[in-house]
Amino acid sequence: MKTPFLIVVLVLFTLNGCNTANNADDIEGYYTGTFQRGEIISNVTLNLNGKNFSGESDIAKFPAICNGNFTILNDMVTFDNLCPWTAEFDWSLILSNEWHFTIDYNKLTLTNSIGDIYILTK
């Protein structure tokens, strides 16, 4: 009786692990989707390749993506944006610092501590 239960537990654990990303290889890819802050939504692209990222938005500097590096630790991704920026906009819109991420098959969701959200599809 213990063997079938153990097999079921191992299968469920394995299936759950398939949907959870924990390193750069797991989230690598070209994504399209949206960025939202408050009531404003923009269309974005985000390319995650190795430890590098690049992207753009259909609304200038909302968000400001450009390019840079990223690292992953557990369920957090930290972006280091390498582009120079001018001072005429809200710098909290720059894709940088820590973001919580979830990945479910081809859907990547990024959220930060102030409530911004990216919903992206590979």
Q: Is 61 within the bounds of a domain?
A: yes
What the block records as the tokens of 92 is 């909290």
What is the domain count for the chain?
1
Domain that holds residue 92: 22-121
**Mean pLDDT across 21-45:** 88
pLDDT score, position 26? 79
Mean pLDDT, all residues of the chain: 86
Q: Is 16 within the bounds of a domain?
A: no
What gap in Å lies between CA 15 and CA 112, rounded to an integer? 27
CATH of the domain at 57: 2.40.128
Q: Is 103 within the bounds of a domain?
A: yes
Q: Is 107 within the bounds of a domain?
A: yes
Q: Give the pTM.
A: 0.80
Res 18 pLDDT > 50? no
Q: Is 95 within the bounds of a domain?
A: yes
Q: Is 51 within 8 Å of 69 (Cβ atoms)?
A: yes
